Amino acid sequence: MNPKKRILSILLSILLMLSILPTVSLADDAAAPTISFELADPDADINPGDAFAVNMVIANNPGIGGLQARIEFDKDAMELTNIVTKTDDSTFLLNQGIFTTNENMGYVEPGSGTNFGWIDITGISANGILCQLQFKAKEAAAEGSYTVALDTTNDFEMTGSGDDMTAITPNTTSCTFYLGTPKYGIFARSGEAGAYKYTEVTNTDFMLNTASDLEVAPWKDTATLVFMRGTKVIEDAQWKIADESVVWKDDSAAEEAGTIHLKATGSTPGSTTELTVTSGDTTLKCNVKIANYARAITNASMKPLYGDAGYVVDRYVVSTSRKLNTITPMTDVAGNAITDTANAGEITWKTTGGQSDMRVFVNEQGELESLIQKTYSYERCTATPVVKGYVDGVPVELEGNTLNIYLNPQSAEALTVLDANGNIVPSTREVDGALYPVYTIPADGVRYSDGYANSAILRERRL
């Protein structure tokens, strides 16, 4: 066993020489402790090149006797220089017992070991600072928000004190701080308490959807915005909504300092309003716009060259370079057909397959085109429609059904059609030993699929 990887295992062996104790799971009714990270000086500005400290704190301590852990942080922005259980001013909880750090102090890759291990035969039950992590911000670190967190997935162990040596899984809270000169900003908050994520609302519109059903799509008609300087909430912030018919304060959400909870259920798609926040002499504004985002496009199809109806088929055969006439019917979160696509989100395409001289691509207008410069062989390409929208200020993409497109310059353009049972409907007919494409055109929405008698031969060209 690698001693760098399993520090606590080594320490446990010392304890096991004193007594042989069983290990069991934490009882379901036992409240789990919380381990959080907090800046030792929460009011300090941290700039590139600065040293700073983060305290590892335990609350609701049930009594612990062993701990080994890996610390997660951005190794490109900071370095972990030391982990201590005692400073000139303070003595921390893990100073009692045996405490060992990884001899290679610094960032430990996930799955390759831990930063420290601790064990004590009598255990500790007090709440407070377990130890202190000492960092230095790198000179070349980019300005922005950074996080220090506990990795409970890789090589983490916490055991209870007493005769059980109970295995414990704690709740955790990370520490997020701003590296550089803190600036005021409006941030969209997402995630759960203790693991919040913040996305700055920039000069572009902040989008809210007119409806929400998370079982069918991720779009939301509610949002939480926070006024912050760096990573610190400005608690005396005052919010004002210019037009409360567009968006309004969600009174069902709990009041929080520096925060506003917004709601736009049933608001008119395309409408906008201005949101203003003020603290002292500082005022910021942002625009809130209402969308009616589409669900993923599940009925994308192509219109044949002849006939007006488009329908989903197994594959399409294209023989010339041209714009591909695609159909992308859309419904909104509520299941209603979207007729005005201006607020349905950005509709784009993803394509795969083909070569530089024989492919399907997206032109400057966002439309699909085929490019066929060979006079032989064929290429199989795919095209998938994508709906792009925003949730809590973060871009989100939903992919629809994929179209299979065969580029074949030696054939007439044809469809391979599936009947109601999913069987391929013949798309060719044989005449004097030669195969010719059969174009099956639906009439009044009914698909003909019973062969040549109910089909139209639109072009007599040998395959």
* pLDDT the model gives residue 411: 67
Q: CB-based burial of residue 350 (10 Å sphere; 0-12 exposed, 13-18 middle, 19+ buried)?
A: middle
Q: Is 147 in contact with 54 (CB distance < 8 Å)?
A: no
The conformational region for residue 53 under phi > 0 = left, psi -120 to 50 = alpha, else beta, is beta
CA distance 5 to 159: 18
CA distance 293 to 220: 10
Q: How confident is the prediction along the chain (463 residues), in pLDDT tens digits per residue?
A: 444 445 445 444 544 433 344 433 443 445 789 999 999 998 888 999 999 999 999 999 999 999 999 999 999 999 999 999 999 989 999 999 999 998 778 899 998 889 999 999 899 999 999 999 999 999 999 988 899 999 999 989 999 987 767 889 999 999 989 899 888 999 999 998 878 889 999 888 999 999 999 999 999 999 999 999 988 899 999 999 999 999 999 988 888 999 999 999 999 999 999 999 999 999 999 999 999 999 989 889 887 654 444 556 667 888 889 999 888 999 999 999 998 899 999 999 999 999 999 999 999 999 999 999 988 778 899 999 999 999 999 999 999 999 998 888 876 666 655 666 766 665 566 666 655 555 444 333 333 333 333 333 333 222 2
Q: Is 370 in contact with 390 (CB distance < 8 Å)?
A: no
442: number of Cβ within 10 Å = 16
* pLDDT the model gives residue 307: 46
Strand order in the sheet with 78-84: 78-84, 128-137, 51-59, 34-39, 171-173
Helix, strand, coil share (%) of the chain residues, nearest 5: 5, 45, 50
List all residues 6 or more positions away from 209 whose beta carbon is below 8 Å from its beta carbon. 219, 220, 221, 264, 290, 291, 292, 293, 333, 389
Write out the two tokens for 277: 């926040």
* pLDDT the model gives residue 298: 87
191: number of Cβ within 10 Å = 10
Query: CA 393, 173, 278, 183 torsion: positive or negative?
Result: negative
* pLDDT the model gives residue 338: 94
Amino acid 266 reads G
CA distance 362 to 371: 11
CA distance 233 to 231: 7
3-class DSSP assignment, residue 74: coil
Angle at 122 between CA 118 and CA 128, to 5 degrees: 60
Which helix (H) or strand (E) covers residue 185, if one does?
Answer: strand 184-190
Q: How far apart are the first and last CA of the chain?
A: 66
50: number of Cβ within 10 Å = 15
Report CA-CA distances (Å) from 293 to 191, 277, 389. Answer: 21, 27, 7
Supply the DSSP string of 47-90, one letter for each residue: -TT-EEEEEEEEES---EEEEEEEEE--TTTEEEEEEESB-SS-
Of 248, 296, 242, residue with least CA distance to 274: 242
Q: CB-based burial of residue 35 (10 Å sphere; 0-12 exposed, 13-18 middle, 19+ buried)?
A: buried
